[in-house]
Structure 1
Amino acid sequence: MRIAVLTDIHGNVLALEAVLHDLKQRGGAELTVNLGDSVSGPLWPRETMERLEALALPTVRGNHDRRVAVDPANDEMWASDAYAQERLTVAQRDALFAQPLTLEIAPGVIAFHARPDHDEKYLADTVVDGQLVRAPIAAIQRRLRNLDPAYRIVLCGHSHRGELIRLPDGPVIFNPGSIGCPAYDDETPPAHVSEQGSPHARYGIVTLGETGNPDRFEAIAVDYDHEAAAHQAEQAGRPEWAHALRTGFMPR
């Protein structure tokens, strides 16, 4: 069974379309799962939401999906969430909030946005010198201590950093990286940045092993018209987003 793993689209419908086209060129997948944070960002939230509604993918709720859905529009609301909220219908916001925190998408495979018990805390990451990096294995194991040991594969997003980690006596964690937002900064203490290092749209394919064959994990980076996305961010008054979309890094 082939599972395509999409996450952290952040309203970048151009990147999403490029990923869907690339997946089709590779023969498609029997199942495609969306790990959340679908629309938040100064790009095309309504168009992205409409595309995803047409696809009707199994989807988990991300932290920004929750914020777009339920946070009041005020001066304290994060700018990307406010931009998306203003452009979605009430029904679309309700649909975002109704998405589950976790999904078992196949026997032994669980999907969630950040952690199985929280949509905003990092699973495989920590902050070192203001940069998001891989957390110590012991810390990751503690964060999954309540996970059912029957799960052999964990699919997650949130950090926008691609990761493939096999925990000792535990599951394989797979984060393919972000489709639509290759870098961001977060002022939540400790303040930090996450950077994929290139403007490519990222997604993954997991092929579940059968009859003794091992599971296979593919992390894929797809080129697309990131300059058009950067221009859209500039038009929305977000030059830091434009820089991230062009380079995969935050402005220094």
Structure 2
Amino acid sequence: MLPHNRSFLMRIAVLADIHGNVLALDAVLDDLKQRGGADLVVNLGDCVSGPLWPRETMERLEALDLPTVRGNHDRRVAVDPADDQMWPSDRYAQERLTAAQREALFALPLTLEIAPGVVALHARPDHDEKYLADAISDGQLVRAPLAAIKRRLKGLDASCRIVLCGHSHRAELFRIPDGPVIFNPGSIGCPAYHDDTPPAHVSEQGSPHARYGIVELGQHPDRFEAIAVDYDHEAAARQAEQAGRPEWAHALRTGLMPG
């Protein structure tokens, strides 16, 4: 139950980039319950792709029936039949989902207005794979110039005051001058990754914790909280090793990619 006499009008829990890590998802849901729950829980996509527990994660999410936007890996997992271009994490998940589950992932919307002026998306309003708030510098993700981010938001309604996004796996909170607040809670289930799409780069949260966020909409300034939850990341790392993905195991243990 939520506390009585609360000072906010609505509390939103923000989940992103679960990537088939049902252990991390369950830890986040337990932590949220201990914090009093939320009026709304939103899922920012990339639900199941990864060498972990895609089917179990999908079943958990189906039971929760959360408002969810489509991530790039949700779209890629849905490709049928798998082709030579399918990334290993997507293939692993695809082979373990039903056709109906894959179709449900593909049918997810790019954006959702989950509350007045609050828009949820995975990457950008018009694309599920291009970074919104990030640029690549020396093989690392860094925050993009604010002017570039503002251009990437073109097309959003002028009434939008908060954008909830994922994709980069990097927790971020900043305000665009004369524009919305951008909030990325970080990744629940994949604390680091390497993307060899030119220019190749890594994203690293720097620790194995499962990340999520809470947004409290109120009569006073809105409140944002980025939360890091400990969980049995060693069990997740062993699962990745059994699937033949040692680099995933390293990332799950450390929040870093192998050096």
Residue by residue, what CA displacement relative to the aligned partner does 1:8-46 show, whole Å, maximum 9, x if unpaired? 000000000000000000000000000000000000000
Distance, in Å, in 2 between the alignment partners of 1:8 and 1:143 is 21
Distance, in Å, in 2 between the alignment partners of 1:71 and 1:60 is 20
Distance, in Å, in 2 between the alignment partners of 1:168 and 1:187 is 33
Distance, in Å, in 2 between the alignment partners of 1:86 and 1:148 is 39
Residue by residue, what CA displacement relative to the aligned partner does 1:114-150 show, whole Å, maximum 9, x if unpaired? 0010000000000000001111111111111222110
Counterpart of 1:209? Answer: 218
Matched to 1:243, the amino acid is H
229, 232, 236: which is aligned to 2:236?
229
Q: Which runs of 4+ in 1 moved over 3 A?
A: none
Matches within 5 A, 1:1-252: 1-70=10-79, 72-210=81-219, 213-252=220-259
Residue by residue, what CA displacement relative to the aligned partner does 1:18-75 show, whole Å, maximum 9, x if unpaired? 0000000000000000000000000000000000000000000000000001253133
Please give the secondary structure, in 2, of the residue aligned with 1:208: strand
Residue by residue, what CA displacement relative to the aligned partner does 1:181-225 show, whole Å, maximum 9, x if unpaired? 000000001000000000000000000012xx1100000000000
Distance, in Å, in 2 between the alignment partners of 1:206 and 1:251 is 33
Matched to 1:226, the amino acid is H
Matched to 2:128, the amino acid is D
Distance, in Å, in 2 between the alignment partners of 1:117 and 1:70 is 20
Please give the secondary structure, in 1, of the residue aligned with 2:48: coil
Task: Tell me, yes or no, if the aligned pair for 1:207 and 1:215 is still in contact at 8 Å.
Answer: yes
Matched to 1:200, the amino acid is H
Please give the secondary structure, in 1, of the residue aligned with 2:208: coil
Distance, in Å, in 2 between the alignment partners of 1:68 and 1:207 is 33
TM-score normalised by length of structure 1: 0.98
Distance, in Å, in 1 between the alignment partners of 2:95 and 2:154 is 39
Please give the secondary structure, in 1, of the residue aligned with 2:156: coil
Please give the secondary structure, in 2, of the residue aligned with 1:70: coil
Distance, in Å, in 2 between the alignment partners of 1:86 and 1:14 is 20
Deviates more, 1:141-150 or 1:15-24: 141-150
Q: How high is the sequence identity, in percent, across the aligned residues? A: 85
Task: Tell me, yes or no, if the aligned pair for 1:64 and 1:81 is still in contact at 8 Å.
Answer: yes
TM-score normalised by length of structure 2: 0.95
Distance, in Å, in 2 between the alignment partners of 1:70 and 1:36 is 16
Distance, in Å, in 2 between the alignment partners of 1:251 and 1:26 is 34
**RMSD across aligned positions (CA):** 0.7
Deviation at 1:165, TM superposition (A): 1.0
Distance, in Å, in 1 between the alignment partners of 2:89 and 2:80 is 12
Matched to 1:202, the amino acid is R
Deviates more, 1:48-57 or 1:146-155: 146-155
Distance, in Å, in 2 between the alignment partners of 1:238 and 1:50 is 23
Please give the secondary structure, in 2, of the residue aligned with 1:179: coil
Task: Tell me, yes or no, if the aligned pair for 1:9 and 1:180 is still in contact at 8 Å.
Answer: yes
The alignment of Structure 1 onto Structure 2 pairs a total of residues equal to 250
Counterpart of 2:5? Answer: none
